[in-house]
Structure 1
Amino acid sequence: MDDTPSRIPAAVTDLRAAARDAGFTMSCEERTGSLLAVLAATRPAGRILELGTGVGEGAAWLLSGMSPAARLVSVELDSAVQGIARAELGADPRVTFVGGDGGAWLEEYDGEPFDLVFADTWPGKFTHLDRALDLVASGGTYLIDDLDPQPGWPEGHEASVVGLLAELEGRKDFRTVRLAWASGLLMAVRAVS
Protein backbone atom coordinates (compact mmCIF):
# COMPACT_ATOMS: atom_id res chain seq x y z
CA MET A 1 0.00 0.00 0.00
CA ASP A 2 1.26 3.46 -0.90
CA ASP A 3 1.11 5.70 2.17
CA THR A 4 1.80 8.96 0.35
CA PRO A 5 -0.91 11.48 1.29
CA SER A 6 -3.38 12.08 -1.53
CA ARG A 7 -4.53 15.49 -0.29
CA ILE A 8 -1.80 18.00 0.43
CA PRO A 9 -2.90 21.43 1.69
CA ALA A 10 -2.37 24.12 -0.92
CA ALA A 11 -0.20 26.20 1.41
CA VAL A 12 2.31 23.37 1.85
CA THR A 13 3.76 23.80 -1.65
CA ASP A 14 4.54 27.48 -1.05
CA LEU A 15 5.83 26.77 2.46
CA ARG A 16 8.19 24.09 1.14
CA ALA A 17 9.61 26.52 -1.41
CA ALA A 18 10.04 29.16 1.29
CA ALA A 19 11.72 26.63 3.58
CA ARG A 20 14.21 25.73 0.83
CA ASP A 21 14.93 29.42 0.19
CA ALA A 22 15.47 29.99 3.93
CA GLY A 23 17.64 26.89 4.32
CA PHE A 24 15.16 25.44 6.81
CA THR A 25 15.33 21.64 6.76
CA MET A 26 13.21 20.58 9.74
CA SER A 27 9.71 20.89 8.27
CA CYS A 28 6.93 18.47 9.10
CA GLU A 29 7.17 15.23 7.11
CA GLU A 30 4.06 14.91 4.91
CA ARG A 31 2.91 11.57 6.36
CA THR A 32 3.10 13.14 9.82
CA GLY A 33 1.20 16.10 8.39
CA SER A 34 -1.55 13.86 7.06
CA LEU A 35 -1.92 12.32 10.53
CA LEU A 36 -2.09 15.80 12.06
CA ALA A 37 -4.91 16.73 9.67
CA VAL A 38 -6.85 13.60 10.62
CA LEU A 39 -6.31 14.14 14.34
CA ALA A 40 -7.42 17.77 14.02
CA ALA A 41 -10.55 16.64 12.17
CA THR A 42 -11.50 14.42 15.13
CA ARG A 43 -11.77 17.52 17.33
CA PRO A 44 -14.58 19.76 16.05
CA ALA A 45 -14.23 23.07 17.89
CA GLY A 46 -11.04 21.64 19.36
CA ARG A 47 -8.18 23.50 20.98
CA ILE A 48 -4.84 22.58 19.39
CA LEU A 49 -1.29 23.44 20.44
CA GLU A 50 1.75 23.15 18.19
CA LEU A 51 5.14 23.57 19.83
CA GLY A 52 7.60 24.44 17.06
CA THR A 53 5.97 26.28 14.16
CA GLY A 54 9.02 26.21 11.91
CA VAL A 55 7.94 27.66 8.56
CA GLY A 56 4.37 26.45 9.14
CA GLU A 57 4.01 23.14 7.31
CA GLY A 58 2.65 21.38 10.41
CA ALA A 59 0.29 24.30 11.03
CA ALA A 60 -0.93 24.10 7.42
CA TRP A 61 -1.73 20.41 7.85
CA LEU A 62 -3.49 21.06 11.17
CA LEU A 63 -5.54 23.90 9.70
CA SER A 64 -6.54 21.72 6.75
CA GLY A 65 -8.20 19.26 9.14
CA MET A 66 -9.65 21.74 11.62
CA SER A 67 -13.31 22.71 11.75
CA PRO A 68 -14.25 26.40 11.46
CA ALA A 69 -14.72 26.57 15.24
CA ALA A 70 -11.39 24.93 16.15
CA ARG A 71 -8.43 27.02 17.31
CA LEU A 72 -4.66 26.53 16.93
CA VAL A 73 -1.88 28.12 18.99
CA SER A 74 1.55 27.68 17.39
CA VAL A 75 4.71 28.62 19.31
CA GLU A 76 8.16 29.19 17.76
CA LEU A 77 11.44 30.61 19.04
CA ASP A 78 12.87 31.60 15.63
CA SER A 79 10.98 34.69 14.47
CA ALA A 80 12.45 34.54 10.96
CA VAL A 81 11.09 31.09 10.17
CA GLN A 82 7.81 31.75 11.94
CA GLY A 83 7.52 34.91 9.84
CA ILE A 84 7.16 32.65 6.80
CA ALA A 85 4.25 30.85 8.49
CA ARG A 86 2.67 34.14 9.52
CA ALA A 87 2.87 35.48 5.96
CA GLU A 88 1.30 32.34 4.46
CA LEU A 89 -1.21 31.35 7.15
CA GLY A 90 -1.70 34.42 9.35
CA ALA A 91 -4.93 35.55 7.68
CA ASP A 92 -6.68 32.42 8.97
CA PRO A 93 -8.57 33.53 12.10
CA ARG A 94 -8.29 30.04 13.63
CA VAL A 95 -4.53 30.33 14.22
CA THR A 96 -2.60 32.39 16.76
CA PHE A 97 1.16 32.54 16.32
CA VAL A 98 3.25 33.07 19.43
CA GLY A 99 6.88 34.12 19.08
CA GLY A 100 9.21 33.13 21.87
CA ASP A 101 10.76 30.27 23.77
CA GLY A 102 8.41 27.29 23.97
CA GLY A 103 9.65 26.34 27.44
CA ALA A 104 8.94 29.81 28.81
CA TRP A 105 5.53 29.80 27.12
CA LEU A 106 4.68 26.44 28.69
CA GLU A 107 5.74 27.71 32.12
CA GLU A 108 3.65 30.88 31.81
CA TYR A 109 0.51 29.55 30.10
CA ASP A 110 -2.48 29.46 32.45
CA GLY A 111 -5.40 28.89 30.08
CA GLU A 112 -7.58 25.94 29.20
CA PRO A 113 -6.09 22.56 28.27
CA PHE A 114 -5.74 21.42 24.67
CA ASP A 115 -7.43 18.57 22.83
CA LEU A 116 -4.32 17.97 20.72
CA VAL A 117 -0.71 18.86 21.51
CA PHE A 118 1.90 18.37 18.78
CA ALA A 119 5.38 18.80 20.27
CA ASP A 120 7.72 19.25 17.32
CA THR A 121 10.61 20.88 19.17
CA TRP A 122 12.62 20.34 22.36
CA PRO A 123 10.27 22.17 24.75
CA GLY A 124 7.30 19.93 25.35
CA LYS A 125 9.28 16.86 24.36
CA PHE A 126 12.80 16.76 25.82
CA THR A 127 12.29 19.64 28.22
CA HIS A 128 9.09 20.74 29.95
CA LEU A 129 7.51 17.36 29.18
CA ASP A 130 5.42 17.21 32.34
CA ARG A 131 4.08 20.70 31.72
CA ALA A 132 3.14 19.88 28.12
CA LEU A 133 1.37 16.70 29.26
CA ASP A 134 -0.46 18.68 31.96
CA LEU A 135 -1.97 20.75 29.14
CA VAL A 136 -3.53 17.74 27.40
CA ALA A 137 -7.28 17.62 28.13
CA SER A 138 -9.00 14.48 29.34
CA GLY A 139 -9.31 12.24 26.26
CA GLY A 140 -6.87 14.52 24.42
CA THR A 141 -3.90 13.50 22.28
CA TYR A 142 -0.18 14.24 22.57
CA LEU A 143 1.92 13.55 19.47
CA ILE A 144 5.68 13.68 18.94
CA ASP A 145 7.77 12.91 15.87
CA ASP A 146 11.42 12.57 14.81
CA LEU A 147 11.99 9.55 17.06
CA ASP A 148 13.86 7.52 14.43
CA PRO A 149 17.54 8.47 13.99
CA GLN A 150 17.78 11.70 12.01
CA PRO A 151 20.70 13.33 10.21
CA GLY A 152 22.28 15.91 12.46
CA TRP A 153 21.29 14.34 15.79
CA PRO A 154 23.77 15.51 18.42
CA GLU A 155 25.97 12.90 20.05
CA GLY A 156 24.08 11.05 22.76
CA HIS A 157 20.65 12.08 21.48
CA GLU A 158 19.56 8.51 20.82
CA ALA A 159 19.81 7.82 24.57
CA SER A 160 17.58 10.86 25.19
CA VAL A 161 14.96 9.44 22.80
CA VAL A 162 15.07 6.03 24.50
CA GLY A 163 14.62 7.71 27.89
CA LEU A 164 11.74 9.85 26.62
CA LEU A 165 9.91 6.84 25.20
CA ALA A 166 10.35 4.88 28.43
CA GLU A 167 9.07 7.83 30.48
CA LEU A 168 5.98 8.30 28.31
CA GLU A 169 5.17 4.60 28.15
CA GLY A 170 5.53 4.32 31.93
CA ARG A 171 2.85 6.90 32.67
CA LYS A 172 -0.42 5.59 34.09
CA ASP A 173 -2.45 8.63 32.96
CA PHE A 174 -1.78 8.12 29.22
CA ARG A 175 -2.18 5.25 26.75
CA THR A 176 0.63 5.27 24.19
CA VAL A 177 1.40 3.74 20.84
CA ARG A 178 4.65 3.90 18.88
CA LEU A 179 4.32 4.26 15.15
CA ALA A 180 7.25 3.01 13.05
CA TRP A 181 6.16 5.35 10.31
CA ALA A 182 7.17 8.71 8.87
CA SER A 183 10.04 10.00 11.04
CA GLY A 184 9.08 7.76 13.99
CA LEU A 185 6.08 8.84 16.03
CA LEU A 186 4.58 8.32 19.45
CA MET A 187 0.95 9.14 20.14
CA ALA A 188 -0.38 9.28 23.69
CA VAL A 189 -4.00 9.78 24.75
CA ARG A 190 -4.87 11.00 28.25
CA ALA A 191 -7.12 8.60 30.09
CA VAL A 192 -10.62 10.01 30.53
CA SER A 193 -11.13 11.03 34.14
Structure 2
Amino acid sequence: MRIDHSPCRPPLVVRAHRAAQAADFPMSCTDQVGTILRALAASKPGGRLLELGTGTGVGAAWILAGMDPFATLTTVEANSDVVPIARGVLMHDPRVALVVDDAAEWLRHYDGPPFDFAFVDCRPGKFTGRPALFSVLAPGALYFVDDLLPQPTWPPDHQPRVEAFLTEIQQEKALLTATMHWDSGVLLGVRGPE
Protein backbone atom coordinates (compact mmCIF):
# COMPACT_ATOMS: atom_id res chain seq x y z
CA MET A 1 0.00 0.00 0.00
CA ARG A 2 1.28 3.47 -0.90
CA ILE A 3 0.99 6.11 1.76
CA ASP A 4 2.38 9.03 -0.31
CA HIS A 5 -0.52 9.17 -2.78
CA SER A 6 -1.58 12.45 -4.37
CA PRO A 7 -3.87 14.27 -1.95
CA CYS A 8 -7.15 15.96 -2.67
CA ARG A 9 -6.26 19.54 -3.52
CA PRO A 10 -8.11 22.31 -1.67
CA PRO A 11 -9.99 24.68 -4.04
CA LEU A 12 -7.46 27.51 -3.76
CA VAL A 13 -4.61 25.09 -4.54
CA VAL A 14 -6.51 23.92 -7.65
CA ARG A 15 -6.85 27.55 -8.71
CA ALA A 16 -3.14 28.23 -8.07
CA HIS A 17 -2.10 25.17 -10.09
CA ARG A 18 -4.30 26.24 -13.00
CA ALA A 19 -2.74 29.69 -12.91
CA ALA A 20 0.78 28.17 -12.87
CA GLN A 21 -0.04 25.93 -15.84
CA ALA A 22 -1.57 28.81 -17.80
CA ALA A 23 1.59 30.84 -17.18
CA ASP A 24 3.83 27.88 -18.05
CA PHE A 25 5.45 28.22 -14.62
CA PRO A 26 7.10 24.86 -13.78
CA MET A 27 8.55 25.61 -10.35
CA SER A 28 5.57 25.25 -8.00
CA CYS A 29 5.83 22.98 -4.97
CA THR A 30 4.51 19.44 -5.32
CA ASP A 31 1.29 18.22 -3.73
CA GLN A 32 3.28 16.08 -1.28
CA VAL A 33 5.22 19.13 -0.11
CA GLY A 34 1.95 21.05 -0.05
CA THR A 35 0.37 18.60 2.38
CA ILE A 36 3.32 19.10 4.74
CA LEU A 37 2.95 22.88 4.41
CA ARG A 38 -0.75 22.61 5.26
CA ALA A 39 -0.02 20.47 8.34
CA LEU A 40 2.81 22.71 9.55
CA ALA A 41 0.63 25.80 9.12
CA ALA A 42 -2.12 24.12 11.16
CA SER A 43 0.39 23.59 13.98
CA LYS A 44 0.64 27.37 14.47
CA PRO A 45 -2.86 28.58 15.42
CA GLY A 46 -2.98 32.36 15.44
CA GLY A 47 0.61 32.30 14.17
CA ARG A 48 2.59 34.64 11.96
CA LEU A 49 3.71 32.66 8.90
CA LEU A 50 6.24 33.61 6.25
CA GLU A 51 6.93 32.36 2.73
CA LEU A 52 9.96 33.48 0.75
CA GLY A 53 9.39 32.83 -2.96
CA THR A 54 5.68 33.07 -3.74
CA GLY A 55 5.88 32.06 -7.39
CA THR A 56 2.32 31.83 -8.70
CA GLY A 57 0.93 31.06 -5.23
CA VAL A 58 0.75 27.26 -5.02
CA GLY A 59 2.76 26.96 -1.79
CA ALA A 60 0.92 29.89 -0.24
CA ALA A 61 -2.41 28.28 -1.15
CA TRP A 62 -1.40 25.09 0.69
CA ILE A 63 -0.28 27.14 3.71
CA LEU A 64 -3.56 29.08 3.74
CA ALA A 65 -5.46 25.76 3.64
CA GLY A 66 -3.90 24.84 7.00
CA MET A 67 -4.10 28.20 8.74
CA ASP A 68 -6.78 29.02 11.26
CA PRO A 69 -8.81 32.25 10.91
CA PHE A 70 -6.48 34.18 13.22
CA ALA A 71 -3.14 33.28 11.58
CA THR A 72 -1.49 35.56 9.00
CA LEU A 73 0.78 34.84 6.06
CA THR A 74 3.37 37.20 4.61
CA THR A 75 4.66 35.98 1.26
CA VAL A 76 7.54 37.67 -0.57
CA GLU A 77 8.20 37.50 -4.32
CA ALA A 78 10.70 39.42 -6.47
CA ASN A 79 9.72 38.18 -9.94
CA SER A 80 7.44 40.87 -11.39
CA ASP A 81 6.26 38.45 -14.11
CA VAL A 82 4.54 36.14 -11.61
CA VAL A 83 3.40 38.68 -9.00
CA PRO A 84 0.15 39.57 -10.86
CA ILE A 85 -0.66 35.85 -11.12
CA ALA A 86 -0.05 35.27 -7.40
CA ARG A 87 -2.04 38.39 -6.58
CA GLY A 88 -5.00 37.09 -8.59
CA VAL A 89 -4.86 33.74 -6.80
CA LEU A 90 -4.22 34.86 -3.21
CA MET A 91 -5.49 38.32 -2.55
CA HIS A 92 -9.12 37.32 -1.94
CA ASP A 93 -7.98 36.01 1.46
CA PRO A 94 -7.57 38.76 4.08
CA ARG A 95 -5.07 36.64 6.05
CA VAL A 96 -2.36 37.04 3.39
CA ALA A 97 -0.05 39.95 2.55
CA LEU A 98 1.92 39.72 -0.71
CA VAL A 99 5.16 41.71 -0.61
CA VAL A 100 6.87 42.52 -3.91
CA ASP A 101 10.56 42.70 -3.08
CA ASP A 102 13.80 40.78 -3.21
CA ALA A 103 13.66 38.43 -0.23
CA ALA A 104 17.22 39.26 0.86
CA GLU A 105 16.47 43.00 0.82
CA TRP A 106 13.16 42.51 2.58
CA LEU A 107 14.79 40.44 5.33
CA ARG A 108 17.52 43.03 5.76
CA HIS A 109 14.97 45.75 6.44
CA TYR A 110 12.22 43.84 8.21
CA ASP A 111 11.61 45.19 11.72
CA GLY A 112 8.22 43.71 12.63
CA PRO A 113 7.31 40.97 15.09
CA PRO A 114 8.94 37.54 14.74
CA PHE A 115 7.49 34.72 12.66
CA ASP A 116 6.39 31.30 13.89
CA PHE A 117 6.96 29.50 10.58
CA ALA A 118 9.00 30.08 7.43
CA PHE A 119 8.76 28.22 4.13
CA VAL A 120 11.76 29.13 2.00
CA ASP A 121 11.34 28.47 -1.71
CA CYS A 122 14.01 30.78 -3.12
CA ARG A 123 17.73 31.34 -2.67
CA PRO A 124 17.65 33.99 0.11
CA GLY A 125 16.96 32.30 3.42
CA LYS A 126 18.18 28.98 2.06
CA PHE A 127 21.47 29.36 0.20
CA THR A 128 22.21 32.94 1.25
CA GLY A 129 21.17 35.25 4.07
CA ARG A 130 20.13 32.60 6.56
CA PRO A 131 21.25 34.66 9.59
CA ALA A 132 18.88 37.47 8.53
CA LEU A 133 16.01 34.99 8.31
CA PHE A 134 16.82 33.23 11.57
CA SER A 135 16.88 36.61 13.32
CA VAL A 136 13.19 37.14 12.48
CA LEU A 137 12.06 33.69 13.67
CA ALA A 138 10.61 33.26 17.15
CA PRO A 139 11.94 30.53 19.44
CA GLY A 140 10.17 27.33 18.45
CA ALA A 141 9.52 28.61 14.92
CA LEU A 142 9.52 26.08 12.09
CA TYR A 143 11.90 26.44 9.12
CA PHE A 144 10.97 24.38 6.06
CA VAL A 145 12.67 24.07 2.66
CA ASP A 146 12.13 21.80 -0.32
CA ASP A 147 13.87 21.02 -3.62
CA LEU A 148 16.95 19.43 -2.07
CA LEU A 149 17.02 16.48 -4.49
CA PRO A 150 17.87 17.03 -8.18
CA GLN A 151 15.01 18.60 -10.13
CA PRO A 152 14.59 18.99 -13.91
CA THR A 153 14.27 22.76 -13.48
CA TRP A 154 17.70 23.12 -11.84
CA PRO A 155 20.42 25.06 -13.69
CA PRO A 156 23.69 23.12 -14.17
CA ASP A 157 25.50 25.00 -11.38
CA HIS A 158 22.83 24.40 -8.72
CA GLN A 159 23.90 21.03 -7.23
CA PRO A 160 26.98 22.48 -5.47
CA ARG A 161 24.74 25.10 -3.82
CA VAL A 162 22.48 22.39 -2.44
CA GLU A 163 25.41 20.30 -1.22
CA ALA A 164 26.93 23.32 0.56
CA PHE A 165 23.55 24.13 2.14
CA LEU A 166 23.10 20.58 3.44
CA THR A 167 26.57 20.63 4.99
CA GLU A 168 26.23 24.09 6.52
CA ILE A 169 22.70 23.69 7.88
CA GLN A 170 23.72 20.68 9.98
CA GLN A 171 26.17 22.95 11.80
CA GLU A 172 23.67 25.77 12.31
CA LYS A 173 23.44 26.47 16.02
CA ALA A 174 20.09 28.28 15.71
CA LEU A 175 18.24 25.18 14.44
CA LEU A 176 17.47 21.58 15.22
CA THR A 177 17.02 19.95 11.81
CA ALA A 178 15.75 16.81 10.11
CA THR A 179 16.38 16.14 6.41
CA MET A 180 14.18 13.75 4.47
CA HIS A 181 15.04 11.98 1.22
CA TRP A 182 11.42 12.18 0.12
CA ASP A 183 9.58 13.76 -2.79
CA SER A 184 11.69 16.78 -3.88
CA GLY A 185 13.92 16.45 -0.79
CA VAL A 186 12.89 18.43 2.28
CA LEU A 187 14.37 19.80 5.47
CA LEU A 188 12.46 20.75 8.60
CA GLY A 189 14.13 22.81 11.28
CA VAL A 190 13.00 24.20 14.61
CA ARG A 191 14.45 27.46 15.92
CA GLY A 192 16.03 26.81 19.27
CA PRO A 193 15.66 29.00 22.35
CA GLU A 194 17.65 32.22 22.55
TM-score bracket relative to the smaller structure: over 0.9
* Distance in structure 1 (CA, Å) of the matches to 2:6 and 2:45: 22
Q: Which shows bigger deviation, 151-160 or 66-75? A: 151-160
* Distance in structure 2 (CA, Å) of the matches to 1:36 and 1:84: 21
Q: Which shows bigger deviation, 85-94 or 66-75? A: 85-94
Report deviation, 1:173. Answer: 2.5
Provide the aligned length of Structure 1 versus Structure 2.
193
Give per-residue Cα distances to partners, 1:130-185, cap 9 Å, x unaligned. Answer: 11122221011101110001113223321211111111111222110001112100
Give per-residue Cα distances to partners, 1:12-41, cap 9 Å, x unaligned. Answer: 222212211211100111111100000000
* Distance in structure 1 (CA, Å) of the matches to 2:30 and 2:130: 22
Partner residue, 2:157: 156
* Distance in structure 2 (CA, Å) of the matches to 1:128 and 1:44: 27
Secondary structure (helix, strand or coil) at the match of 2:44 reads coil
Partner residue, 1:23: 24
Contact 1:116 1:140 in 2 (8 A): yes
Contact 2:177 2:190 in 1 (8 A): yes
Report deviation, 1:6. Answer: 3.2
Contact 1:11 1:60 in 2 (8 A): yes
Report deviation, 1:5. Answer: 4.5
Q: Which amino acid aligns with 1:95?
A: V
Partner residue, 1:61: 62
Residues 6 and 155 (structure 1 numbering): CA distance in 2 closer, same or farther, change over 3 Å? closer
Q: Which amino acid aligns with 2:181?
A: A
Partner residue, 2:97: 96
Contact 1:5 1:34 in 2 (8 A): no
Partner residue, 2:121: 120
Secondary structure (helix, strand or coil) at the match of 1:79 reads coil
Residues 180 and 100 (structure 1 numbering): CA distance in 2 closer, same or farther, change over 3 Å? same
Q: Which shows bigger deviation, 26-35 or 83-92? A: 83-92
Contact 2:75 2:98 in 1 (8 A): yes
Aligned ranges 1:65-144 → 2 under 5 Å: 65-144=66-145
Contact 2:7 2:31 in 1 (8 A): no
Partner residue, 1:147: 148
Partner residue, 1:8: 9
* Distance in structure 2 (CA, Å) of the matches to 1:88 and 1:20: 13
List runs of 5+ in structure 2 lacking aligned partners. Answer: none
Report deviation, 1:95. Answer: 0.2
List runs of 5+ in structure 1 lacking aligned partners. Answer: none
Contact 2:61 2:90 in 1 (8 A): yes
Q: Which amino acid aligns with 1:130?
A: P
Give me the CA root mean square deviation.
1.3
Secondary structure (helix, strand or coil) at the match of 2:81 reads helix
